């Protein structure tokens, strides 16, 4: 099964159609760090990171990893940990996974530039939550209700195709 992102605001999965948002500057085949674009292509998905206190019992076939306060995702092009989950370190630029807002309460990693990360090709590309469909920095975002439905439907073999 595959998730399809099309028309910059539509996520399709099987017979389900959800409204979503993508990067502020659309999609690209030539993703660069900080370009506000969502990478175009077909990708596998990784684990689900989640806030355990807010979502104690999730129904999904994805590997579930509770988000800890010291978790970050490295977006530092100078680091050997580029585009990987890290323990927060003030010397390494990163996105905090444990946030005050709810956007990262449920995060599915999109395996873009993750196996052998190429520096400056883009990092931290996720499927995450939104309250208002505001355009993202390059991720794909969904409302909580839609994300919870999607999590029940997808599994580790699901791919995401961004058109």
Structure tokens at 48: 């689900």
Closest CA to 97 of 76, 128, 118, 63: 128
Domain ranges of the chain: 2-162
DSSP state of 67: P
* DSSP secondary structure letter of residue 108: E
Residue 89 has pLDDT above 90, yes or no: no
pLDDT at 36: 98
Span 30-55, pLDDT tens digits: 999 999 999 999 999 999 999 999 99
- Please state, in angstroms and rounded to a whole number, the distance separating the CA atoms of residues 30 and 52: 35
* pTM assigned to the model: 0.96
Within 13 A of 72's CA, how many CA atoms are on the CB side? Answer: 17
Task: Extract the tokens encoding 69.
Answer: 């306060």
Share of the chain above pLDDT 90, in %: 97
Tens digits of residue pLDDT in 62-83? 999 999 999 999 999 999 999 9
- How many whole angstroms separate alpha carbon 112 and alpha carbon 87? 21
CB burial class (10 A; 0-12, 13-18, 19+) of residue 128? buried
Rounded Cα distance between 88 and 12, Å, is: 34
CATH architecture group of domain 2-162 = Beta Barrel (2.40)
- 96: how many CB neighbours lie within 10 A of its CB? 14
Q: Which two tokens mark 78?
A: 């100078």
Region 149-153 average pLDDT: 98
Q: Which two tokens stand for residue 34?
A: 């900080």
Query: What is the C-alpha to C-alpha distance for residues 70 and 116, in angstroms, rounded to an integer?
Result: 24
- Per-chain mean pLDDT for the chain: 97
Other CB atoms within 10 Å distance of the CB of residue 97:
23
Check residue 7 and give its pLDDT. 86
């Amino acid at each position: 099964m595959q998730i399809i992102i099309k028309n910059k605001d539509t996520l399709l999965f099987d017979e389900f159609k959800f409204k979503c948002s993508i990067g502020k500057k659309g999609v690209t085949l030539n993703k660069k760090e900080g370009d506000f674009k969502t990478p175009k292509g077909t990708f596998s998905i990784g684990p689900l990171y989640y806030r355990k206190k807010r979502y104690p019992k999730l129904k999904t076939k994805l590997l579930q990893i509770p988000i800890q306060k010291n978790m970050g995702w490295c977006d530092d092009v100078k680091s050997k940990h580029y585009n990987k989950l890290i323990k927060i370190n003030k010397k390494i630029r990163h996105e905090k996974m444990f946030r005050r807002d709810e956007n990262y309460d449920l995060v599915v990693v999109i395996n873009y530039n993750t196996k052998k990360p190429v520096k400056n090709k883009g990092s931290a590309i996720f499927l995450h939550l939104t309250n208002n469909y505001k355009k993202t920095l390059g991720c794909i975002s969904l409302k909580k209700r839609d994300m919870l439905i999607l999590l029940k439907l997808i599994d580790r073999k699901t791919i995401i195709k961004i058109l």
